[in-house]
A and B are shown apart, each in its own frame.
Chain A
Amino acid sequence: NAGVTQTPKFQVLKTGQSMTLQCAQDMNHEYMSWYRQDPGMGLRLIHYSVGAGITDQGEVPNGYNVSRSTTEDFPLRLLSAAPSQTSVYFCASSYLGQGGTEAFFGQGTRLTVV
């Protein structure tokens, strides 16, 4: 079982460039989400989805776009990269059924915007 797979692991962008961070899970989880981690700020939720075709904004959605066309995939798009988006990005997924299972995390993408 691959779990949650994020690509790429590292990326350097120039200001104004766009890119897509990929996230895929093979556990048939309804819930998928993107977080960014910055020193002293914990994990801040960018966008999340409770199923295919359904997305919603988290705490810090500006500058990011998501879509959920399949249960497995939840890509995060940076529309026009800014230095403030330099961060480590994590994708996570979980079941939403009764019992509320824990979230499984990808290994992260370290993004630098210059």
Chain B
Amino acid sequence: AQSVAQPEDQVNVAEGNPLTVKCTYSVSGNPYLFWYVQYPNRGLQFLLKYITGDNLVKGSYGFEAEFNKSQTSFHLKKPSALVSDSALYFCAVRDPPNDYKLSFGAGTTVTVRA
């Protein structure tokens, strides 16, 4: 069965510093991996995805993520965080063709202080 772990409930960084949000996964095949962001009282917005190809993927708002197959990780990164990046971040995985459902981690709350 597929699963996603986000080992940190909260990440706190100062504005201008690098931001990393960690995600590890478990699948039986080759994963499709996704990052989403949720602002208060809003739905989820897609940030980026890894399907195949280059291990470093770039997404919206200056975010990027690196797929590491040997470590089964897909950490989200931003070189210079902004106060407006403060939100709840979710990692998600799909395991086609074994399993088409989309499974989410528990989420990581990011707070960027000015």
Pairwise interchain contact B101-A33, C-beta atoms closer than 8 A: yes
Judged by a CB distance under 8 angstroms, whether A48 is at the interface is yes
CA distance A42 to B93 in the complex (A): 13
Q: Give the chain B neighbours of A99 by CB distance below 8 A.
A: 51
Question: Chain A interface: which size bin?
Answer: 20 to 34
CA distance A103 to B102 in the complex (A): 8
Q: Give the chain A neighbours of B90 by CB distance below 8 A.
A: 42-43
Name the residue of chain B whose CB is nearest to the CB of A100: B32
Q: Give the chain A neighbours of B96 by CB distance below 8 A.
A: 96, 100
What's the least CB distance linking B88 to chain A, in Å? Answer: 9
CA distance A96 to B97 in the complex (A): 10
**Which segment, of B11-19, B40-48, B64-72, B73-81, faces chain A?**
B40-48
A94, A96, A100, A103 pick with most chain B CB within 10 angstroms: A100
Which B residues have a C-beta under 8 Å from some C-beta of A? 6, 9, 32, 34, 36, 42-46, 49, 51, 90, 92, 94, 96, 100-107
Q: Give the chain A neighbours of B105 by CB distance below 8 A.
A: 42
CA distance A108 to B44 in the complex (A): 9
Q: Give the chain A neighbours of B104 by CB distance below 8 A.
A: 35, 42-45
Pairwise interchain contact B100-A31, C-beta atoms closer than 8 A: yes
Name the residue of chain A whose CB is nearest to the CB of B42: A107
> When A and B form their complex, which 9 residue pairs have the shortest distance between CB atoms, in order from nearest?
A42-B106, A43-B104, A100-B32, A102-B46, A105-B43, A105-B44, A107-B43, A42-B107, A48-B101
CA distance A92 to B43 in the complex (A): 10
